[in-house]
Amino acid sequence: MRLDLPRLEALWLKISIGTLASFLLIIGIMAFGFHLHPASSRYAIDPTRVNETPPFDQPGLYAIGPNEYRAVIIAKLFTFIPSDLTIPKGATVHFMITSPDVIHGLSIPGTNVNIMVIPGQVNTFTYTFKRAGEYLLLCNEYCGAGHQMMMAKWTVKEE
């Protein structure tokens, strides 16, 4: 079937379809070629039993390789556990985070760390701390009266 479109209309149609196709192509290349995904939910646990469910029965920072760590974090009204940590410069941290109560968020200004923390959902994200200094960990989802006080501080020290 051949549509008899005015020349300009046909041109705009081609531009629209071309734009759409290139967006889809870019998203596809980023997702499957470069493995760029948003922070994702790996699995779910019972939010009422977070404190007894491994690994959240022992939140903390665990070395799992050369300058590579797993940070097991509980976000709850109105704190992060553990709150203050020190890691060496260049450390790659695999965040594992969940909440036993309400929805929180974990964001670290100056980085691309921005994780939704949903009760019972175990969310993960990986970040490499290339700059030494102090990093603020903030809750970025309104979670109640103490929301603005919900924060932690990590120190990345020069080796």
- Picking from 96, 106, 82, the residue whose alpha carbon sits closest to that of residue 45 is 96
Q: Pick from 87, 104, 113, 116: which binds ligand CUA (CB under 6 A)?
A: 104
95: burial class by Cβ within 10 Å (0-12, 13-18, 19+)? buried
Nearer to ligand CUA, 68 or 141 (CB): 141
Give dist(CA 37, CA 109) in Å, integer. 19
Q: Pick from 47, 53, 141, 151: which binds ligand CUA (CB under 6 A)?
A: 141
Closest approach of Cβ 43 to ligand CUA, in Å?
22
Residue for token digits 């921005």? 114
Closest approach of Cβ 75 to ligand CUA, in Å?
6
Q: Amino acid identity, residue 135?
A: Y
For 8, half-sphere exposure in the C-beta direction (CA atoms, 13 angstrom radius) is: 0
**Window 52-91: contact mask with ligand CUA (x via CB under 6 A):** --------------------------x-------------
**Is 109 one of the binding residues for ligand CUA (CB under 6 A)?**
no
